[in-house]
Amino acid sequence: MFAEMNQWEGLVPFGVLLSKSAITTAFCFLYFTTVDYFESAYLGLAIGFCNVFGRASTILSPMIAEMGEPLPMMSCTVICTISLVMCLQLEQPEALNKNKR
């Protein structure tokens, strides 16, 4: 948005690279922290679901970006809000909480 408002098209590639590195960091953070939230029997399922959703959203993102003006930003806002609410619902299993105390 900053590049578009100030007519600095040269900033767009840097924004894309920054976004890609942030997504990669988020996936790494996901893989390292899921051990604390899911039992080992469900860990593969949780990581697999997140991986499939992440790859599917990567495939669909160029199509959504080319749609009309409010739809791309609204879809991003809705997905981020849903992610925030779902992350707030995460709780560590009781067995892991007892071991850390």
**Identity at 57, one-letter amino acid code:** S
pLDDT band at 81 (very low <50, low <70, confident <90, very high): very high
Q: Is the pLDDT of residue 101 over 70?
A: no
SS (H, E, C) the chain: CHHHHCCCCCHHHHHHHHHHHHHHHHHHHHHHHHHHHCCHHHHHHHHHHHHHHHHHHHHHHHHHHCCCCHHHHHHHHHHHHHHHHHHHCCCCCHHHHHHHC
- The Cα 77–Cα 74 span in angstroms is 5
pLDDT in tens, 21-60: 998 898 788 777 777 777 777 888 888 887 898 888 888 8
